[in-house]
Amino acid sequence: MPIDEITQKVSERYAQAASTGEQMCCPTSYDVGHLKTFIPEEVLRISYGCGTPAGLQTVQTGETVLDIGSGGGIDCFEASRLVGPTGLVIGIDMTDTMLEIARKNASTVATNLGYPASNVEFRKGLADAMPVEDGTIDLIISNCVINLAPDKRKVFCEMFRVAKLGGRFTISDIVSDQPVPQYLVHDSQKWGDCLSGALTLADYIAGMREAGFLGIHLVKSSPWRIIDGIHFFSVTLTGYKLPPAATTSSVRYATLRGPFSRVTDEQGKTFERGIPQPIAPDNASLLSAPPFADHFLLTTEPVQLDNHDPRWSAILPADAPCTWQGHYALLAGPFVEAADDDHHIYRRGEPLEICSKTVTVLETAGYQSHFAILNRAGDRVSGEAVTCAPDGGCC
């Protein structure tokens, strides 16, 4: 299907939904009671998304925030509240009906927030050709929109272009656990349902990394739909446009604390738990970012750790039989590859079948934030328990 035709059909579908009040696309977890205190019902009624990127404590006072695919304006208006009257929020959408509703309600929201004037502006445009100046955005948000764009890598490049040095994104979207087949790709109805345009998690993150973002990591995930054996699920991801590294940094070494036994970062450097590695300023800048900070000890001199050191972290599987229940784990950053203490090697975005003991390990605090876990079993599994062994007896 030609790109222009996809774009036109998606725009028409959302314009129709805005007129009819049709509920579309994906699950959300908005605090509607809170939003009703300042956002008109007309906006809340046509809000479609698969997450709450503006409400995850990512928006800071006084920032300039860009919302890609702003629709009726719900995320823009929540961002408006969070940045305060000194901040600026820009919403981009391609559908005239949505833009009309959002613009009409902007002044009402500003009044309800007690602002002297609205700090939100809505611009007509496409995600892959955004009407935004280079390097002007502190935070980019988007809510179940990028998967509707035919050329997502172009969108990711646009995001990197408009972000400030030191800027970041927090976006929610629908991805899949395997490539979407052509019969779905060419189904115009399912484009509007956030299905046909879904990338695999691996390809989605790879596109962001190719655009230049670093520290790409999972904030939250939840399953959504299964169609013909393909699992579609919602993810919220954050990443950074890091500024040039400070050459005066005193950090010279990084030691992996755990709980992973080995990791490889986005710059291709591998770290073994407990063993200090010399790092360059750009490595130090990356490993200082929030998704890495809890996993590393950054020092001026080499510091070796062992399992008697309180800074060492390891989460071992139970010494007991396990069962296969249909679970698959997808590493979602910030590492491109990681290993645990039970000989599993996880590659970012690639599903890996895991047993019940590994599910328990990955649901602990040290691991949980890095993994999306899906269950591919069609029926309840009743297999007998087996004994896992490092030589391949189970996992």
Q: What is the tens place of the pLDDT at every residue in 43-61?
A: 998 877 777 887 778 899 9
Q: How far apart are CA 25 and CA 193, in angstroms?
A: 5
Question: Is pLDDT of 70 > 90?
Answer: yes
Which of 56 and 41 is assigned the larger pLDDT?
Answer: 41
Distance, CA of 221 to CA of 226 (rounded, Å): 15
Average confidence score pLDDT of the chain: 88
> Of all residues in the chain, what percent carry a pLDDT higher than 90?
69
Residue 84's closest CA among 51, 56, 60?
60
Topology classification of domain 3-240? Rossmann fold (3.40.50)
Cα 350 from Cα 200, distance rounded (Å): 9
Q: Is 335 left (phi over 0), alpha (psi -120 to 50) or beta?
A: beta
- Say how far residue 300 (Cα) sits from the centre of its chain: 33
DSSP tag of 246? P
The predicted-structure confidence for 146-160, as pLDDT tens digits, reads as follows 988 889 999 999 999
3-12, 182-191, 203-212, range with the lowest pLDDT: 3-12
Is residue 249 pLDDT above 80, yes or no?
no
pLDDT band of residue 172 (cuts 50, 70, 90) is very high
Report the C-alpha gap between 138 and 166 in whole angstroms: 8
> Phi first, then psi: what are they for 206, rounded to 5°?
-60, -40
Least confident of 22-26, 49-53, 267-271: 22-26
Mean pLDDT, rounded, for 172-180:
93
- pLDDT bucket at 191, cuts 50 / 70 / 90: low
Q: Which of 95, 129, 88, 89 is nearest to 13 (CA)?
A: 95
> At what angle are helices 96-113 and 3-20 packed, to 10 degrees?
50
Please give the single-letter amino acid code of residue 281: P
Is residue 357 within 8 Å of 393, Cβ to Cβ? no
Task: Give the SS3 label for residue 17.
Answer: helix
Q: What is the dihedral of CA 41, 42, 46, 49, to 10 degrees?
A: -50
- Mean pLDDT is lowest, of 26-30, 125-129, 153-157, 207-211, for 26-30
User: CA dihedral defined by 280, 281, 284, 288, rounded to 10 degrees?
Assistant: -170
**Cα–Cα distance, 256 to 312 (Å, whole number):** 8
pLDDT band at 392 (very low <50, low <70, confident <90, very high): very low
Domain edges within the chain: 3-240, 253-299, 316-395
Least trusted range by pLDDT, from 117-131, 276-290, 372-386: 372-386
Q: Would the pLDDT of 76 be above 70? A: yes
What sign results for the dihedral spanned by CA atoms 151, 197, 192, 109?
Answer: negative
SS3 category, 390: coil
CA 196 – CA 43 distance, rounded (Å): 26
Closest residue by Cα to residue 66 from 169, 165, 206: 169
- Quickly state the pLDDT bin for 306 (edges 50, 70, 90): very high
State residue 192's pLDDT score: 57
* Region of poorest pLDDT, from 3-12, 305-314, 333-342: 3-12
pTM: 0.89
Identity of residue 110: A
Residue type, 298: L
Pick one of 1.10.10.10, 3.40.5.100, 3.10.20.310, 3.40.50.740 as the CATH number of 316-395: 3.40.5.100
38 is written with which tokens?
Answer: 């300042």
- DSSP 8-class letter at 243: P
Using a CB cutoff of 8 Å and minimum separation of 24, what contacts does 176-183 make? 176/200, 176/201, 176/230, 176/231, 176/232, 176/233, 177/201, 177/230, 177/231, 177/233, 177/328, 177/330, 177/351, 177/374, 177/376, 178/230, 178/231, 178/351, 180/230, 181/228, 181/230
Confidence at 11, pLDDT banded by 50, 70, 90 = very low
Q: Could you give phi then psi for residue 37, rounded to 5 degrees?
A: -70, -15
Structure tokens at 28: 């959300």
∠ CA 260-266-268 to the nearest 5 degrees?
Answer: 85
